């Protein structure tokens, strides 16, 4: 018995890296898999006794996102889990904000933000009617802690965090969860796909039905939970604020509560 027996999952960009490892482990745990852009992986899953189909739709289009969900419905009759995983070939490069071209920005935003929104929207129609489902978004540490040379990635991924949080709030009544996973660098190493896959499978399982709207991290063998934006401090003046009043009060009352510019 696997943790995902009877579940149907669609994994975006499953042909390599984390997408591939996630799809393989989900199949191993009993899920039937729609593997986007991964014909070889589908064959591998089938040879191991699993059920899988591929879908080569362009996920940055309305039609393509609908085709991904329809592939699950046509072959398996349902869709329980959607894994939004960025195409590694479209990952933003290490560039300062002043060096990013219009074409680079639009290509990266299409590859992840637009695809994540469109596929989530398409999947939620199915999950809402089933009154259960899981959205799992793989994002990046640049969105939650920042880094030099990653403004483009940070901005795009921060938007995905907002997508996940709001989807979680809207879909709670339908028993659909939405969470983010942030692969983080360990000291001297980059995130390993095999480390990220188990948490993804768990969040897709019935064991995680009460977990939603959260941002989890994976750093080597550690699982992290990130804080989220909440009001830290407020200041009030009975006569309202002027520039002069702010100049004498603002920093001394707010500074202890500022978030430091740390990247880890």
Q: Beta 32-36 vs 8-11: how paired, if at all? A: parallel
The CATH number of whichever domain residue 95 belongs to comes to 3.40.50.720
What integer pLDDT is reported at residue 93 of this predicted model? Answer: 62
State the chain's mean pLDDT as an integer. Answer: 92
> Does a structural domain hold residue 94?
yes
Beta bridge partners of 84: 137
For the stretch 89-106, pLDDT in tens is 555 567 788 888 898 888
What is residue 226's three-state secondary structure? coil
> Does a structural domain hold residue 253?
no
> Does a structural domain hold residue 120?
yes
Handedness of CA 17, 121, 55, 159 (dihedral sign): negative
More confident residue, 88 or 155: 155
> Does a structural domain hold residue 153?
yes
3-state secondary structure 101-125: CHHHHHHHHHHHHHHHHHHHHHHHH
Reported pTM: 0.92
Q: Alpha helix locations (H) across 217-257?
A: 243-254
What is residue 11's three-state secondary structure? strand
The residue-averaged pLDDT of 237-241 equals: 95
Of 6-15, 21-30, 85-94, which range is least confident?
85-94
Number of domains making up the chain: 1
Domain that holds residue 69: 8-225
> Does a structural domain hold residue 3?
no
> Does a structural domain hold residue 258?
no
> Does a structural domain hold residue 261?
no
> Does a structural domain hold residue 251?
no
């Amino acid at each position: 018995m696997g943790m995902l027996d009877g579940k149907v999952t669609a994994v975006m960009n499953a042909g390599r890296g984390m997408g591939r490892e996630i799809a393989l482990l989900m199949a191993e745990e009993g899920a039937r898999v729609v593997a986007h852009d991964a014909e070889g992986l589908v064959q591998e899953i089938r040879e191991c006794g699993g059920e899988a189909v591929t879908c080569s739709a362009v996920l940055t289009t309305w039609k393509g996102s609908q085709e991904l969900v329809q592939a699950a419905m046509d072959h398996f009759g349902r869709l329980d889990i959607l894994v939004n995983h960025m195409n590694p070939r479209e990952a933003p490069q290490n560039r300062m904000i002043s060096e990013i071209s219009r074409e680079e920005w639009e290509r990266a935003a299409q590859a992840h933000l637009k695809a994540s929104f469109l596929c989530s929207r398409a999947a939620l129609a199915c999950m809402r009617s089933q009154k259960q489902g899981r959205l799992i978004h793989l994002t990046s540490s640049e969105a939650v802690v920042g880094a030099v040379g990653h403004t483009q990635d940070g901005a795009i991924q921060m938007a995905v965090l907002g997508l996940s949080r709001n989807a979680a709030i809207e879909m709670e009544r339908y028993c659909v969860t939405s969470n983010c996973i942030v692969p983080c660098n360990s000291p001297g190493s980059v995130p390993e796909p095999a480390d990220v896959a188990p948490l993804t499978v768990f969040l897709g399982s019935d064991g995680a039905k009460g977990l939603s709207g959260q941002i989890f991290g994976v750093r080597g063998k550690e699982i992290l939970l990130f804080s989220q934006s909440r009001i830290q401090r407020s200041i009030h003046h009975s006569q309202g604020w002027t520039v002069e009043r702010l100049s004498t009060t603002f920093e001394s009352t707010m500074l202890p509560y500022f978030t430091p510019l740390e990247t880890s």
